[in-house]
Each structure stands twice: as C-alpha cells, then as structure tokens.
C-alpha cells in the first residue's frame, strides 16, 4: 500500500505544483499552539478555504480537505508536497470527538509512514487499516463534505429544533400553571359567594349563641 | 409591556394553531373516567382509550352544538404535517346534555401519539339549527376553522385541551 504513496505523491506534485503547503514549519506550529481551536473554528476555516479555491480539488469532488491532507504522502526529502486541496491557513488539526485537537506526529517531521494510500477514493482513506493513529482518530470523527458547510447547517437546524422544543415545553408548563391559578381564583370566589349565601339562609351557630347570651342578661 | 397573558388556550397556542380568539359562553366539561380535563393536564393514551363523557351547558334544549376533537401536533409537534388529525366529530348536541345525545359523524379514535407531546383539543360550536354535517374523507389535515366556515358555525363557544404522549414517554425529559 505504501509503495503507491510515492507514485501518487509525484502525480500530485506534477498536477498541483502551484500549491505549496508548508507542513513542518515551526511558525505554523507555534501559531497552532497559541490557541485551542474548537472544532467549529476549524470547520469554518476548512469551509472558507474551500470556497476560496474551488478549482483545486484533485479528485473531482469537494472532498474532505482535512482527510486529503492526512492522506498526503510523506516524501523522503521532506519537502512538503503539494496537496490536492486549497492550503489550510494552519497546520492540520486532527480532531476527535472526545479529546479535541491533536497534533499529527508527522507534522513534526516524523518520517513514520503512517499514512494510507492516496490512490483510492475518499472512502479508502478512511478505511485504511494501516494508518492506526490517523485512522483511529478519523473514525472517531464525523465526516462531512466540507465544501457546502453541511456540518454547520445540520448543527444549526438541530439548535433551532431544540429551541422550538424548549419553547413548547415552557408554554406547556406556563399554560397549566395559569389554568390552575385561574381555577383556584374561581373556586375561591365561588366559595366565598356560597358561604355568604349560606350565612343568609342559615343562622350561624356562634351568632345564635351570642344572641341567647344577650337575651339572658 | 401588555398585561401578562393568562389564558391557557393562548399560551398553549390552541388559540392560534386551531382556532382564533373567541369568547367563552357555554360550559364544556370533558371527563375521562370521572376525571375532569383541565387545560394542559397530561393524560396517557391508556387513560383516554375510550371516549370521554362530555357535558354541554346552556339552558335551551332546542339549541344544538357541534363538538370537534383534533390533534394539531400530528404526527409530531416539531413537524406537524398532518395537522389537524380529527379524532372525533359529534353534531346536534342539545344544550344541557352531552355527546351521547348527539350525532356521531366521525367516531372516537383514541389518541396514540408516537413522537413528542401532543395537544388534544376539544372545540365546541353552536349550530344555527339542526344540520347535516358530512364526514370528511380522512382524518388527517382537518381544518377546524374551515370546517366552521363551511357549516356556518361561527366562532367557538368553548374549548379545552390536554396533553398526550406515548405511554412510555418520559415527559420530555432525558434520562
């Protein structure tokens, strides 16, 4: 599998030599280490860079740029090969759902060929068994086409739905509370009225007793 | 800020989603198994399997009423594309009596919500006279407002609703 990598790397170099992607420069690393980027920020960057350079996809689809980058071959002379994607503004961030951004080892110029084949389509990148560290993390992350911001859309929709549901829940609670309050009020009024009516019809025992006491004196 | 809204029918969006604002003028008492339904109570499907007892107020036996029972949250409150689902339709109910004295145009179908918490709404109209009401072809996508207009029922004279979710529902709470 890895023998294919160099071939493909050369192809990439030929076709996209105009795209330089500095992978291992220390400046990029320091940039990265300054901030703890949230997944959302990274996604946004990916989406923005895709829209800026729509013509630079190598596989003919708005592929998953991060994945493409991860699958990029590691050439022996350590010159960053051109990548089939628009340049990311920062070094690649490997994201996992539980641990947050994780730096790739080969960004630090580690020559370990822990990348998988580039030949196949996108799915092969994911499915490669050899890229243990990379594959594991990829698997932990939800993969979405980055070109149209679908990830953000889905999240946005979910948020709206949740808000509506919360509003309905509050309305339910408030409506029932109001109903009870109204009923209590109504019952209090009715109770008072009934008591008044009863006093007029039936003499109160206490009053009757007092009347007796008065007359006795 | 205007006076805080106190009408449960408004807060629960029954007025809005099913009917327009109206003035209550007739007593409407709906009870399932001797339990009177107040606006916004929650009942389980097992509690509403059979049609409720419905008592209509007023004082003149010659005045007739139509009762509609609909679910505006079918199949799910977050996507009520079957709004309103018609559960029951009874006409020619004389004042001071109840549904058992009326004409059951659409028989009672017990609520079986599968998704979300649904409002089950009863709306009472006063008829101009005895009239023939035709059952719609299907229960879903019933429109109470349109129905009232077609049969010249005017504004509602009473309404009440309860909440219902599936038997094993958690009341909207996680866990």
Reported as a single tens digit per residue, the pLDDT across A20-63 is 444 444 444 444 445 556 666 666 666 555 555 544 444 445 54
Residues B45-54 pLDDT 10s:
999 999 999 9
Residue B40: helix, strand or coil by DSSP?
A: coil
Q: d(Cα A158, Cα A143) in Å, to the nearest integer?
A: 17
**Mean pLDDT rounded to a whole number for chain A:** 61
**In this model, does residue A216 exceed pLDDT 90?**
no
Across A86-90, B87-91, B150-154, least confident range: A86-90
Interface test with B, best of A162, A169, A173, A176 (most B CBs within 10 A): A176
Cα A139 from Cα A118, distance rounded (Å) = 17
User: What is the ipTM metric for this complex?
Assistant: 0.91
What pLDDT, on a 0 to 100 scale, did the predictor assign at position A30?
44
Asked whether the CA dihedral A57, A58, A63, A64 is positive or negative, the reply is negative
Classify B3-164 by CATH class. alpha beta
Q: Which of B7, B12, B79 to mutate to test the interface with A (most CBs of A within 10 A)?
A: B12
What is the pLDDT at residue A46?
60
Nearest to A174 among B11, B78, B172 (CB): B11
Give the C-alpha separation, A78 to A109, whole Å: 8
CB-based burial label for B138 (10 Å; 0-12, 13-18, 19+): exposed
A175 vs B11, B77, B172: nearest CB = B11
Average pLDDT, chain B: 94
What pTM, to 2 d.p., does this model score? 0.60
Position A203 scores a pLDDT of: 74
Q: What is the mean pLDDT of residues B9-24?
A: 97
* Beta-carbon separation of B6 and A181 below 8 A: yes
Q: B146 or A59, which is more confident?
A: B146
Q: What is the pLDDT of residue A84?
A: 46
């Amino acid at each position: 599998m890895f023998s294919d990598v160099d071939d493909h790397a050369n192809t990439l170099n030929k076709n996209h030599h105009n795209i330089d992607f500095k992978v291992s420069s220390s400046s990029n690393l320091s940039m990265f280490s300054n901030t703890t980027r949230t997944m959302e920020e990274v996604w946004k960057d990916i989406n923005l860079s895709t829209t800026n350079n729509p013509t630079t996809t190598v596989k003919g689809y708005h592929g998953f740029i991060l994945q493409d980058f991860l699958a990029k071959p590691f050439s022996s002379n350590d010159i960053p090969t051109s990548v089939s994607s628009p340049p990311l503004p920062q070094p690649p961030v490997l994201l996992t759902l539980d641990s947050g951004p994780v730096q790739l080892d080969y960004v630090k110029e580690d020559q370990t060929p822990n990348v998988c084949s580039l030949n196949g389509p996108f799915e092969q990148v994911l499915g490669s068994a050899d890229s243990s560290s990379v594959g594991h993390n990829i698997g932990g992350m939800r993969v979405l086409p980055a070109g149209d911001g679908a990830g953000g859309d889905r999240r946005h929709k979910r948020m709206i739905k949740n808000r509506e549901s919360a509003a309905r829940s509050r309305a339910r609670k408030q409506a029932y509370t109001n109903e009870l309050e109204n009923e209590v009020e109504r019952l209090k009024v009715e109770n008072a009225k009934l008591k008044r009516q009863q006093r007029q019809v039936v003499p109160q025992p206490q009053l009757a007793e007092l009347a007796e006491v008065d007359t006795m004196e | 800020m205007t006076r805080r809204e106190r009408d449960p029918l408004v807060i629960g969006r029954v007025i809005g989603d099913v009917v327009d604002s109206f003035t209550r003028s007739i007593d409407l008492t709906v009870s399932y198994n001797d339990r009177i339904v107040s606006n916004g109570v929650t009942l389980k499907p097992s509690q509403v399997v059979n049609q409720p007892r419905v008592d209509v107020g007023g004082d003149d036996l010659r005045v007739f009423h139509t009762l509609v029972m609909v679910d505006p949250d079918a199949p799910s409150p977050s996507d009520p594309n079957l709004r309103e689902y018609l559960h029951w339709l009874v006409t020619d109910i004389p004042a001071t009596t109840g549904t058992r004295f009326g004409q059951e145009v659409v028989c009672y179908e017990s609520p079986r919500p599968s998704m979300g918490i649904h409002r089950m709404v009863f709306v009472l109209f006063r008829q101009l006279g005895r009239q023939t009401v035709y059952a719609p072809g299907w229960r879903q996508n019933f429109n109470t407002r349109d129905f009232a207009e077609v049969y010249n029922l005017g504004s509602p004279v009473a309404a009440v609703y309860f909440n219902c979710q599936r038997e094993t529902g958690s009341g909207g709470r996680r866990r």
